[in-house]
A = this chain, B = another copy of it.
């Protein structure tokens, strides 16, 4: 039973990767595995459950760092792994924001972060909060990137958009520093460094 389900989820993920989430219909997935749409139901239950299954399959691809590494390195590895996953599966990845971490692989990721934060010296009573803070940022960054939400700020763009320059003192003050293109790899690393400093400084 479970083998057939995996085959169905793989087909759904392939379709999402190739043609976007909108192309993941019960009919299209069924055609790809050579079945009738109705034949999927015993395996995946519903369209919503199929999407949940894709999320779980995604998390299974995320490899977790060895406990012997430095906590900073572990945070970095998990964060970079998540971002890599987003680039590999840009259509399916944003689904991670939609559902709680209630699958085995999701719990394992959370546990890995718990360990890293404990080793960083975060007080036990703050670890679950800080874990949510870190994972929310990493997820948010990766989703923003693949969804095209990020784009460098620019005065020229702001003006094209029909906002008077007097309304935008911040953009004007920053004019020389708002660059037309951004190195997102470097930005992500700088963010993670700031985040690690913040983690170190949490005392309560």
Contacts and interface: CB of A to CB of B under 8 A. Distances in A.
A135 to B, nearest CB: 9
Interface in A89-109: 94, 96-104, 107-108
A23 interface: no
Chain copies in the assembled complex: 2
A34 interface: no
Interface residues of A, number: 69
A141 B137 CA distance: 8
A99 B127 CA distance: 32
B158 A107 contact: yes
B161 A124 contact: no
Q: Which 6 residue pairs are nearest across A and B when measured between Cβ atoms?
A: A114-B170, A140-B140, A136-B140, A111-B170, A115-B170, A198-B198
